[in-house]
Amino acid sequence: MSNYYRFYIKTCSPRRVEQLIIETLGGDAWLETYGEGYLRPLEIVVTPGEDRIVFPNFDSSGWPITSHCETGWVWLESQLPFDSAEASSVARALLAQTRFKYPLIEMLAVDTEADSVEGGYAHIVKADHYLIKEDSAQLG
């Protein structure tokens, strides 16, 4: 079984985020469609404090539960394999959008399919996250 990343994004502009992801990947072949786009609304809990952790609600199969209410959080179901250059590129592009005075992305977190079974939470992506570090990406 392959292990893929899932990105959790807090944004007021999901369509702009989708476009950024597609441009970063050079197309949408890596992405799973949802409705008219790729980002699924999500009900989520973020723990307070400096080391915030994101707790998506998962179903019995370990998949995030899509929300019917607007929380500002969305998740990206993708086929971006664990420790891939593509996943690193998307993480870098999304994290860059959190650094502006009026950011496109308020917060970014990531997990893998295996994480939802093992621990049930996603890690906040910051500059020291392993997907962001230069030596972790398999850039070719």
Q: What is the pTM of this model?
A: 0.84
Q: Rounded to an integer, what distance in angstroms lies between the CA atom of residue 70 and that of residue 40?
A: 11
Q: Rounded to an integer, what distance in angstroms lies between the CA atom of residue 13 and that of residue 114?
A: 28
Q: CA triplet 129, 90, 56: central angle to 5 degrees? A: 65
List pLDDT tens digits, range 36-79.
899 999 877 777 656 667 777 777 777 788 877 777 899 998 88
Whether 87 and 5 have beta carbons less than 8 Å apart is answered as yes
Q: Rounded to an integer, what distance in angstroms lies between the CA atom of residue 56 and that of residue 8?
A: 9
Closest by alpha carbon to 83, among 20, 1, 3?
A: 3
